[in-house]
Every structure is written in structure tokens, then in C-alpha cells.
Amino acid sequence: MATFCTSAAIKLKAGNSAATLTATQYDLLTEQAESVINTAAKHNFTDVYATLNDDTKKILEDAASSNAAASVIAYNTDGFTRLGSANFAANVNWTRYEDCINKLKDQDYKDFVVNA
């Protein structure tokens, strides 16, 4: 079951490309993103999610939904009228994801958000 984000957050970021996904597919992409986040940060945020403050949860939501949205766009560009628009949207999402991951990988930052 997906923890960090909802399908609505992914749909918002993926735009029209997200129209054809099922709830199961959204959960799969979110769970994959969560695993990548936990592994990259070397911290299992999923297991302690209920204890995290709202600001930390929003960072995890942004990372997971951006990761999932980039995948949605990459696998289905039909929702875009031009490939350049799809590429731009995917790049924006990937940049947001990388920004979150880089912060979560930093030990001082991670200590702060886990103990906030």
C-alpha cells in the first residue's frame, strides 16, 4: 500500500498522461518510488511515517509523486500534444525528485527532519 503520496498528487504533476492509469498502477509506482527514496536516504521513512511531522511528510510526498509522475510521463506521452512538452514536464518532475533526494541523503538534513 502506498504511504508517501496519493494518486491525486501524481496526476497533478503528470497531467494528461495520468488519465489511463488504474489505482493498482498508481500504488505500484508510488511503492517503487518509496523504496528508491528509503534506499537512497539509507533510512526507512515508511516504517516511521506515522511519527514524522507534516513538513517531513510533504517532502516525502513531493519526492514520491515527482518520481512517479516522471515515470508516468515517460511511459505514456500521449497526453501531450508535443514530445517537447512531455520532456519538459518529465524533467521538472525529475529535478524536483532529485532535489528532495539530495536533501534526504544529507545526514544533517535527515537528522533534522526525522527529529523535527
Domain ranges, residue 112 = 55-116
Instruction: Please say if the pLDDT value at position 18 is more than 80.
Output: no
What share of the chain in percent tops pLDDT 90? 75
Rounded alpha-carbon distances, angstroms, from residue 69 to 21, 33, 37, 50, 93? 11, 10, 15, 24, 7
Instruction: Please say if the pLDDT value at position 19 is more than 80.
Output: no
Torsion angle in degrees (nearest 10) through CA of 103, 106, 109, 110:
100
pLDDT digits (tens, 9 = 90+) for 78-112: 888 899 999 999 999 999 999 999 999 999 988 88
Structural domain contains residue 115: yes
Q: How many structural domains is the chain composed of?
A: 1
Structural domain contains residue 116: yes
- Residue 48, number of CB atoms within 10 A of its CB: 11
CA 54, CA 43: separation in Å to the nearest integer?
A: 18
Residue 76: what pLDDT?
A: 86
Residue 89: what pLDDT?
A: 94
Structural domain contains residue 79: yes
